């Protein structure tokens, strides 16, 4: 892509809202969109890991896409990036075409995680076929080897995909390899948009020059990250390190109470009820939810929770 749009700041990976029966609760999304926008979020990365995309049917993902796109059409300013899938190329193409039809300007594709590509050229060929179906949309690759098992060099992948897909825009880089990450940032003079995907490593990512971040905790702790970024960019490194310690403390609560499911508990505290996660993810008990709130207060994190 000649001039890919490079969104800066915080891009939230939103949770998919469910009702008490475990079905989509689409009525929450308009309020959710406004909530994120009010808290300074610049974009959303929908139907991804946080959004339980792999636990949704194709129809459900399309319904979510339409609701988020509707918010944008109704005057919303946040960029919407739709994760179109990763295992079935034909499904990915269908979802990409749906994204185009709903007015999106960007999609993402995750690495095939059952039959995995054996090298960077094979992966580039898989992604290129999907991207060619929507030549007017920006295409991102979602690099998440901890979940997909696709452990390839992203720098070498960029070399391959740049020759095959004109509308390739960049990578959501969810891996702690700062060497490969920096090579990608510098490739072709920084032409591609390399978005950082590990919330718990945001300060080191800032030090590499990165200014675009995709993550789940931005849904409910945006004020903390805004303060950290502002401190870093104004040269207040001690303040930035102090705020980074708060980031680490907050994320430690995710590990303590069961990982990703804790995020929906945080959302309830922030005023957006997204329901529970679908099986097999284990949801927080009422007792653990109470203990989580006690920990948030004890660790003085409540001041950093996003406001409705």
The band of 277, judged by pLDDT with boundaries at 50, 70 and 90, is: very high
Enter the tokens of residue 192. Answer: 């591609």
pLDDT of 112-140, one tens digit each? 999 999 999 999 999 999 999 999 999 99
- The mean pLDDT of the chain is 97
| Per-residue pLDDT at 261 exceeds 80 | yes
pLDDT at res. 86:
83
Nearest to 24 by CA among 50, 49, 55: 55
160 is catalytic: no
| CA atoms of 208 and 83, how far apart (whole Å) | 26
Q: Please count the CA atoms within 13 angstroms of the CA of 55 that sit on its side-chain side.
A: 17
What is the spatial distance between Cα 250 and Cα 64, in angstroms, rounded to a whole number? 28
pTM for this prediction: 0.97
pLDDT in tens, 194-221: 999 999 999 999 999 999 999 999 999 9
* Fold annotation for 9-236: TIM Barrel (3.20.20)
Q: How confident is the model at residue 64 (pLDDT cuts 50, 70, 90)?
A: very high
Q: Could you say which of 160, 172, 246, 264 is catalytic?
A: 172
Q: What is the mean pLDDT of residues 28-50?
A: 98
Residue 4 has pLDDT above 80, yes or no: no
Q: Considering the candidates 32, 33, 140, 142, report the single residue annotated as catalytic.
A: 142
Residue 72, pLDDT > 90, answer yes
**Phi, then psi, of 212 in degrees rounded to 5:** -130, 130
Calculate what percentage of the chain has a pLDDT beyond 90.
97
pLDDT digits (tens, 9 = 90+) for 145-202: 999 999 999 999 999 999 999 999 999 999 999 999 999 999 999 999 999 999 999 9
What values do phi and psi take at 266, rounded to 5?
A: -60, -40
Q: Long-range CB contacts (< 8 A, 24+ apart) of 123-126?
A: 123/150, 123/152, 123/157, 123/160, 124/157, 124/160, 124/161, 124/163, 124/164, 124/165, 125/164, 126/89
225 is catalytic: no
H or E element that contains 93: helix 89-101
Per-residue pLDDT band at 6 (split at 50, 70, 90) = confident
**Does 44 have pLDDT greater than 70?**
yes
Cα–Cα distances in Å, from 101 out to 61, 98, 179?
Answer: 14, 5, 38
Residue 1 has pLDDT above 80, yes or no: no
């Amino acid at each position: 892509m000649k001039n890919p749009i490079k969104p800066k700041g915080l891009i939230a990976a939103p949770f998919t809202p469910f009702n008490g029966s475990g079905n989509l609760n689409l009525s929450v999304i308009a309020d959710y969109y406004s909530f994120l926008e009010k808290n300074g979020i610049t974009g959303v990365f929908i139907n991804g890991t946080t959004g339980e995309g792999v636990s949704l049917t194709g129809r459900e993902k399309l319904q979510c896409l339409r609701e988020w796109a509707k918010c944008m059409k109704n005057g919303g300013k946040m960029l919407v990036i739709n994760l179109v899938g990763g295992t079935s190329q034909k499904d990915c193409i269908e979802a990409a075409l749906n994204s185009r039809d709903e007015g999106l300007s960007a999609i993402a594709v995750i690495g095939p995680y059952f039959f995995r590509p054996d090298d960077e050229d094979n992966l580039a060929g898989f992604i290129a076929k999907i991207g060619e179906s929507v030549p007017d949309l920006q295409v991102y690759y979602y690099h998440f080897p901890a979940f997909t098992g696709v452990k390839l060099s992203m720098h070498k992948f960029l070399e391959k995909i740049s020759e095959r897909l004109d509308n390739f825009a960049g990578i959501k880089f969810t891996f702690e390899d700062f060497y490969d990450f920096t090579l990608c940032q510098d490739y072709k003079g920084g032409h591609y948009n390399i978005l950082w995907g590990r919330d718990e490593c945001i300060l080191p990512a800032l030090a590499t020059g990165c200014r675009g971040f995709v993550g789940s905790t931005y849904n409910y702790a945006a004020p903390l990250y805004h303060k950290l970024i502002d401190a870093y960019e104004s040269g207040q490194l001690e303040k930035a390190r102090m705020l980074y310690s708060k980031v680490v403390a907050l994320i430690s609560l995710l590990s303590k109470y069961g990982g990703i499911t804790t995020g929906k508990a945080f959302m309830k505290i922030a005023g957006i009820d997204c329901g529970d996660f679908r099986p097999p993810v284990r949801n927080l008990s009422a007792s653990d939810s109470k203990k989580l709130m006690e920990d948030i207060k004890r660790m003085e994190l409540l001041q950093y929770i996003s406001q409705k």
